[in-house]
Amino acid sequence: MSRSRAWGFTPAAERTVELCRRLSRDAGVQEDWSAVLLFSLLRDESLASACLRDCGIGAGELGQVLPAGLSAEYVWGFAEQIESEGSGCGVARGLTDIADPDCFRRLLERAREVARRETTDGAITSAVLLLAVYEHSAELRMLFGSRGVSGQQLQQRLFPCEEFEPLVLEPGELVLGVEERSELSELSELSESVSEDGVLRVLDACLNRAREGLRVLEDYSRFVCDDGVAAYELKSVRHELCQAEQRVEGLQPGSHRRLRNRDTTGDVGVGVTLATERERGSLWSVVVANLRRVQESLRSLEEFGKLLDGEFAAVMKGLRYRVYVLEQRLCGVSGAGRSSVGDQRRVRLQQSRLYVLITESQCRGSWQETVRLVLEGGADIVQLREKQLGDAELLRRAKWLCGECESAGALFVMNDRPDLAVLSGAAGVHTGQEELGAGECRRMVTRDGLVGLSTHSVSQLRAAVTAGADYAGVGPVFPSTTKRFVEFPGLEFVSGAAGTCSAAGGAQDFPWFAIGGITELNVCEVLAAGACRVAVGAAVTASEDPRGMAARLRSMLSPI
């Protein structure tokens, strides 16, 4: 047992604790830091983060319990900075920091108790921190409970008890005596003393194979499928694989020991090549072969990694599960025969016709009552568009709107703020040409969230499709009270959008909404130009009868 780990933090746990400290202090969080620590655990690939995902607890769920002032986007961005810096949070510094609030000191003391109880060396690992958070925070115990996970189940997942199968002898089989067992023990010790280099050789080969296979899949997603989401996810897995190898002594890139153990010319498997390996019958066979190469390599990395570093092995397990999910995406299939949340939202998006933007200053009545009325009138999508409110109030309104829309069977979209979309549980985010791009938004809302993009020309519309947006706003068609434009693309752009999307395989394949100054009086012109979906604001919210106006507009839009 190394002195650096006894009764102190492992490297992964060290990063997590320091990230939690810096996030909480920078945001001025005074209350309990438990939720921040749990979010930090989710950010670092480890046994704890894999367990959280297995329990169905992700950024969206944890975002709802984060203290005010912290967003998922902020956490993720800050983590990148922490990973590139030394934190100095190990044994020499001590378990707690003098600036830690009492609640966090108690949490870390709980972690020390858990480490003494559950581990042989007393090291505070990510798994120890997760169980300590669960035991420390009643609010987070309720979160786990809502996912059907009890404390005992969590403990068993993080610290499984080894079970030994009873010895069953076949007739005539002998049990080794003391001398024979002693000889075998000596042989085992001798084998272990010379086998670590062999283990490093296995890990080196598997790391190379996994990285190569991931690159092939990334190129397929990027250049063949134009699937930016899959390409990004595969690139992330590859980079996290490279980060993980730096944690194991002797595996660091360029390590003399790693390169010394590599024996390509003397590898007995180099000359073993099957006929099926020499050619690929189709593009899809290339994808399948490399999926198997990556998955099998990660399994070997996990099993052999357990001999050297448990944290490394846990990361390999988590990456393997992520590749299984990516395989479903590349095959166009959702898990377990069920549609994912994102797929369900996209189906509803395709069926949507009337999109209403909510801005309090444009509502004749209270904004809450206006929302209820437009939903009753048949609005398919509602967007919260407020430019002047603070983050706390925006989040409060977004959560309320999310609940109202879900109850009405409508989609709720957040304007400009992917972080608040994640925290509020919104179906998606809408952004403009001067705000975050579709790719940046996708990284925040993930595949489960919708990403909409405002476009003002056919070229921007094509770029939105290429960037992976789920839908686009096309306009402005007419002058409106929401935005001021020097020029208006007008109905000509609407016709161009219809022609562009039809040329790509049908106007229904990529959803787009004509927007800008559309009212009950001119909507027929918009439909005649080729639109089948419209987005409106004051035309509905400022009317004397928002419910009736929404219903009339919706009835004028032909079924899709």
Read off the CATH number of the domain in which 122 is found. 1.10.1780
Cβ neighbours around 165 below 10 Å, total: 5
Structure token digits, residue 171:
């007739």
Task: Quickly list H helices, 306-378.
Answer: 310-331, 341-351, 367-376
- Report the range out of 39-48, 127-136, 268-277, 333-342 with the highest average pLDDT: 127-136
Which amino acid is it at 519? T
User: With contact defined as beta carbons under 8 Å apart, do 404 and 372 qualify?
Assistant: yes
Return the higher-pLDDT residue of 230 and 515: 515
Predicted confidence (pLDDT) per residue in 465-510, tens digit: 878 889 999 999 998 765 565 567 899 999 999 988 764 433 346 8
DSSP strand pairing (381-384 vs 512-515)? unpaired
β-partners of residue 356 are 382, 536
Domain shared by 208 and 242, yes or no:
yes
> CA 69 to CA 57: how far, in whole Å?
21
Question: What's the pLDDT at 208?
Answer: 92
Which amino acid is it at 229? V
Question: What's the pLDDT at 17?
Answer: 86
Provide the residue range defining the domain that includes 298: 195-262+282-333
Predicted confidence (pLDDT) per residue in 337-366, tens digit: 444 688 788 888 988 999 999 999 999 999
Domain shared by 320 and 351, yes or no:
no
Question: What's the pLDDT at 160?
Answer: 76
Residues 245-265, mean pLDDT to the nearest whole number: 80
Residue 545 has pLDDT above 50, yes or no: yes
Confidence of residue 40 (pLDDT cuts 50, 70, 90): confident
Count: domains in the chain? 3
Position 277 in a domain:
no
Return the higher-pLDDT residue of 474 and 174: 474
User: With contact defined as beta carbons under 8 Å apart, do 348 and 320 qualify?
Assistant: no
Position 241 in a domain:
yes
The last residue of one of the domains, among 316, 333, 350, is 333
Question: What's the pLDDT at 248?
Answer: 84
Position 488 in a domain:
yes
Question: What's the pLDDT at 73?
Answer: 64
Position 47 in a domain:
yes
> CA 216 to CA 538: how far, in whole Å?
50
Question: What's the pLDDT at 99?
Answer: 74
Domain shared by 548 and 433, yes or no:
yes
Domain shared by 210 and 117, yes or no:
no
Triad 187, 171, 165: Cα angle to 5°: 60
Residue 137 has pLDDT above 50, yes or no: yes
- How far, CA to CA in Å, does 422 sit from each of 44, 343, 350? 19, 17, 22
DSSP state of 222: I
- Measuring CA to CA, which residue among 423, 415, 465 is closest to residue 444? 423
Position 85 in a domain:
yes
Integer-rounded Cα Rg, in Å, for the chain is 28
Predicted confidence (pLDDT) per residue in 399-458, tens digit: 999 999 998 999 999 999 999 999 999 999 999 988 888 888 988 888 889 999 999 999
Position 3 in a domain:
no
DSSP state of 88: -
Q: Is it true that the peptide bond before 476 is cis, omega within 30 degrees of 0?
A: yes
The dihedrals phi and psi of 287, each to the nearest 5 degrees, come to -65, -50
Structure token digits, residue 272:
């073993």
Average pLDDT, the chain: 80
Confidence of residue 268 (pLDDT cuts 50, 70, 90): low
Read off the CATH number of the domain in which 425 is found. 3.20.20.70
Return the higher-pLDDT residue of 509 and 176: 509
Position 268 in a domain:
no
Position 25 in a domain:
yes
